[in-house]
Amino acid sequence: MLSVKGLFTEYPNDRGQTVKAAQDVAFEVPEGKLFTLLGPSGSGKTTTLRSIAGLERPVAGDISVDNRVVYSSSKNVFVPPNRRNFGMVFQSYAIWPHMNVFQNAAFPLQVRANPPGEKVIKEKVMRVLAAVGLEELAGRDATRLSGGQQQRLALARAIAMEPRLLLLDEPLSNLDAKLRERMRFELKRLQSEFKLTTVYVTHDQSEALALSHQIAVMSEGRIVQLGTPREIYERPRNKFVADFVGSSNFIDASVRAAQGEPGAYRVTSALGDLDVRSVGRLAPGDKAVIAIRPEDVTLADQALPGGQNACQGRVEAKVFLGECVDFQVRIGETLLLARAHPSLRTPVGENIHLTMDPEKCIAIPNTVETAPQ
């Protein structure tokens, strides 16, 4: 549905230097799917979205939607943003204060080149307002809406125009934590109900994991990993991704030997010899970093029979978080973060036993380090 190939977008900064905001960005979004551009500030995700919208003019590449080219450097094509028929919701909802809820949602339909009749507009708008839970507030002044209601109105306005593509730039970032969590479910429901092909930009990895069919993690203008939420979280391809998406322990290691199955290796580390899995090919003697999520470190007061990657440490500190307890465990000179059920009450200073599933111990070859740490 959406195809982006070889996209380069650059612009001068205040000092006249060239900012390489998007560098050789390429991805495809199937119809009806939600695709997320995830990365820290300055990674190029918003510039990529604005290039798709037509608000930035790239210097090279191709962008097409439904096989219709909206930008091509080789064919000298640039379709203005008002002719792309894309819906957009940004961090600032841009609700018009002099209009009521209905008028805000209806405005894009009323000003399009061939507007439908008033009856059709009313039917479309009221259906969308009902979908976002604002049907009863259609006559209310937009300035009298809460932050969450304004966010839903901005979504309704974008959806009402029946866009070929919906572009969302950090739309939940101005909401408080509980409302943001609730709106994730609302947004996922709306995207599925209206079968909206969506490109979503965020720096919040929880949002990306919760909403997306596919995620592109960006750093310094480039996509450093592309995959499903589970692939991104469970099989990070470099240390940057493992560190940015969730929390990870990082342990330096040296490869001893390959195991029987593909991607399985035995490594030597500060925790002793470990069985691990790798996203890249390794050879004996190669250096690697082992990434282990805190929730994948199993803790117990007694040694577990048959436990894999087992070792013993001492509880350095712990923090009660309600649904879980975070433990800092020292093994020699290494400090490991582990997440356990509150029923585990091992006191600070006491010994504790650890096991780690080899499938969850991901060896990242040092040679694929593609982003700053």
Per-residue pLDDT for the chain (373 aa), expressed as one digit of tens each?
Answer: 999 999 999 988 888 888 899 999 999 999 999 999 999 999 999 999 999 999 999 999 999 999 999 999 999 999 999 899 899 998 777 888 899 999 999 998 998 878 889 999 999 999 999 988 899 999 999 989 988 888 889 989 998 888 999 999 998 887 788 888 888 888 898 899 889 999 999 999 999 999 999 999 999 999 999 999 999 999 999 999 999 999 999 999 999 999 988 899 999 999 999 999 998 899 999 999 999 999 999 999 999 888 899 999 999 999 999 999 999 999 999 999 999 999 999 999 999 999 999 999 999 988 544 443 3
Q: Give the helix/strand (H/E) hosting 109.
A: helix 101-110
Decide: pTM greater than 0.85.
yes
Residues 285-305: tens digit of each pLDDT: 999 999 999 999 999 999 988
d(CA 162, CA 159): 5
**Structure-token pair, residue 153:** 């109105």
**Structure-token pair, residue 168:** 């969302």
Residue 367 has what pLDDT?
Answer: 59
d(CA 288, CA 293): 16
d(CA 17, CA 70): 28
Residues 114-128: tens digit of each pLDDT: 888 999 999 999 999
Closest CA to 354 of 335, 368, 372: 335
Number of Cβ within 10 Å of residue 3's Cβ equals 15
Contact between residue 231 and residue 38 where contact means Cβ atoms under 8 Å apart: no
**Structure-token pair, residue 111:** 């000003």
Query: CA angle, corner 167, sides to 161 and 171, nearest 5?
Result: 105
Indicate the pairing of strand 264-269 with strand 249-258. antiparallel
Give the three-state DSSP class for 4.
strand
Cα-based distances in Å from 139 to 94, 103, 142, 144, 248: 18, 8, 9, 11, 49
List the domains of the chain with CATH numbers. 2-239 (3.40.50.300), 247-368 (2.40.50.140)
From the number of C-beta atoms within 10 Å of its C-beta (0-12, 13-18, 19+), residue 234 rates as: middle
Query: Which residue is associated with the tokens 């996922």?
Result: 188
Contact between residue 191 and residue 171 where contact means Cβ atoms under 8 Å apart: no
Query: CA angle, corner 68, sides to 62 and 73, nearest 5?
Result: 25
